[in-house]
Structure 1
C-alpha cells in the first residue's frame, strides 16, 4: 500500500486557505444571476449602435471581451490601441502557461510518479496533436524554442507541485475552465480560469477560482478573477466562494471572498471598459496615456512623451535615493 504523502508547510497553507466547512460557505439568492445579467444588459444597451462603427469590423459582428483587453484599456489606452493592431503570435512566454495548465490537468489522474518534466512532455505532445494555432506553432518551432519551452514550463509545473497538495478528483479540479456570457447577442464576454476547485451545493457557494501567477504581486490581478467570478455567477447562478491569486515564485496567496457587492462592482468595471473600447475603436476620441511601472517595457515607450517623462523622473528618483 502506497504511503500517504506528508504535506509541506506551503501545501498545508493552500489547504487551509482554499477549504472551508460547509456551514461557513455563503448562500446566494436564486435571482442573483438574473440581476447581474440585467445589469450588464442595461449598461451595454446604449452602446449597441457603436458596435457597427468599429474600424475593421463588419456590421453585425460580435464584440469579444476578455480579461486581458479590459485590463489593458482600463490601464493605458494608448498601449491598448497599439496591441489591438498587432497580430497575435504564439511565443514561449505565452505558450508555457497553456502547456503548464495541461500538465497540471494530467497530474490529477496520473497513476505514476509525478515527474514534472514527463508531465510537460506529455502535455506538449497532446497539444501538438491538435488542429489549432498552438498545435501548428508547436509543430514548427525550432529546437531552441522547444528546449526553452520545456525548461520554463517545467519550472512552473515543479513549483505548482511543490506548493499545492495533490489535487484529488473528489475536489472537482479543472484547469483552463472555459467561461462565456453573451449579452444582447453581440457582446461576448469570455475567458479561461487557470484552476477551479470545488462545486456549488445548491445555493451554497463551494467553488474556488485560482489564478496562477509568477513575478510581483499586483492589486490588478484581482480584477482578472473578479471577471471570471461574474461570468461563472451568471452561468450557473451560484457564484464562486473565494478567489485566490497564487504567486508560484513566492508561494503566497492574494485571497478575496466573493460578495454580491463585488460582483456588481465588476459589472460596472466591465461596462466602463467596453465603453472605452468602443469609443477608441470607432474613432470617437483619442487614446489617453497612463504612466506607471509598465512603462519600462511598453512597446510604445520610445514614441510616448508621457512615458519618457515618467521614466526620466523615476530614474532621477532612484539615483537620488542612492546618495
Structure 2
C-alpha cells in the first residue's frame, strides 16, 4: 500500500513586499546575473534555413541505418548515451545491460532537481530544507520507480537523501540570484527531435533555461547544474542540447553554461553555427556506434580511464584493472 504524504499549499508573498525589498546579491550571484545579461548587439541572428540544413546533414549521415531501424522501436539518443559511447564502449554496454536500482546517491540528484525546480517558482524566500521536504513528498506520490523506492526505503536512507539534496539546493540558492518571471525561467525542460521518420529520437532535459528567442535572434541561455569539477564532456552535453533546441525551434540558444555549484563558477560557451556543426558530427557518429553495439555487429572497445573504478564490468575487464594497477599482465592500449 502506498503511503500518503502531506504536500503543503504554497503561500504567496505580495508583489509589494518583494518590490520594496529587492534582494542584495553576493558576488557569486552577481557573476551569474552578469553572465545571463546581454546587450542587443550581443544577441546573434541565425539563418532561417539553419534547422533544415542541420537536419539534412544528420539524416544524410545516417541514411544507411534507416532500413535497420523501426519507428515503432526507435533508437533513443540522450546526452548520457552519447557521452558513454564516446568514452569506454565496454562500460557503456555493461551499464546498458545492468538492471537499474535506486539508491540514496542516485535519488539525491532527482530530489535536488525537483527541489530546485520548486525553489525557482516559489513565492517568497525559499528555505532549502523546506524545498527538499516538498520535493520528497511530491516524488513519493509518483508512480515510477523512484516513488516506490522513497516509500519503501529505510529511515536512514531517506535521511541520507534529505541531507545530500539539502546541500545541493542550499548551494544553488547561495550561488544564483532570485529569478524574475520576466526572464522566463524553465526548469527540467524537455527537448526532443526526431530523425529519419521517427527512427532516431534525440532527447534531453535541461536543468534550467532562461529567456526565449525572438524571430531568428537567439536570446535563450541553457544551464546545466554540476557538482564536482570541469570535464570536457560537459561542453559536449550542452552542445547536444543546443543542437536539439535548434532542431526543435529553428533558433539555437544564445549561450550554454555548465554551472559548478561546489566552486560557484560557470563555464559558458557561445553557441555558433560551428558549434552546432560539431555537435551534428558527434551525434551522428555516436548514433552509429549506439546502433552497432545494440545489434551486436561489432564488439565494444575498452578505453580505460579513472572512471573504471565505478564500472560494473571492472571485475571482468583486464584493461580496466591494469589501468587501475590491479592487473599488470594486460596492456591497457591493446583494445584502442
TM-score by length of 2: 0.87
Q: Does 1:285 align with 2:303?
A: no
CA distance in 2, matches of 1:312, 1:224: 30
Q: Does 1:26 align with 2:8?
A: no
Q: Does 1:230 align with 2:243?
A: yes
For 1:43, which of 53, 56, 61 is the aligned residue? 61
After superposition, give the CA deviation of every residue in 1:241-297 in whole Å (9 maximum; x if it has no partner). Answer: 011001101111111110111111111111111111111222211111112221232
Structure 1 portions without partners, runs of 5+: 53-58, 316-323
Q: Does 1:200 align with 2:218?
A: no
For 1:68, which of 58, 64, 80 is the aligned residue? 80
- The farther-off stretch of 252-261 and 136-145 is 136-145
Would the aligned equivalents of 1:99 and 1:124 in 2 still touch at CA under 8 Å? yes
Q: CA RMSD in A?
A: 1.8
Q: Does 1:250 align with 2:268?
A: no
Residue pairs, 1:1-323, within 5 angstroms: 1=17, 2-51=20-69, 60-184=72-196, 185-312=198-325
CA distance in 2, matches of 1:283, 1:22: 51
Would the aligned equivalents of 1:205 and 1:239 in 2 still touch at CA under 8 Å? yes
CA distance in 1, matches of 2:249, 2:307: 36
Residue aligned with 2:321, SS: helix
- The farther-off stretch of 306-315 and 90-99 is 306-315
Would the aligned equivalents of 2:75 and 2:291 in 1 still touch at CA under 8 Å? no
After superposition, give the CA deviation of every residue in 1:3-24 in whole Å (9 maximum; x if it has no partner). Answer: 2211001001111112111221
CA distance in 2, matches of 1:254, 1:277: 28
After superposition, give the CA deviation of every residue in 1:120-151 in whole Å (9 maximum; x if it has no partner). Answer: 11111122222233222222222111111111
What is the deviation of 1:174? 0.9
Alignment size in residue pairs: 309
After superposition, give the CA deviation of every residue in 1:21-79 in whole Å (9 maximum; x if it has no partner). Answer: 12211011111111111112111211123336xxxxxx941111111011001100000
Structure 2 portions without partners, runs of 5+: 1-16, 329-336
- The farther-off stretch of 267-276 and 278-287 is 278-287
Distance verdict in 2 for CA 1:197–1:314, change over 3 Å: farther
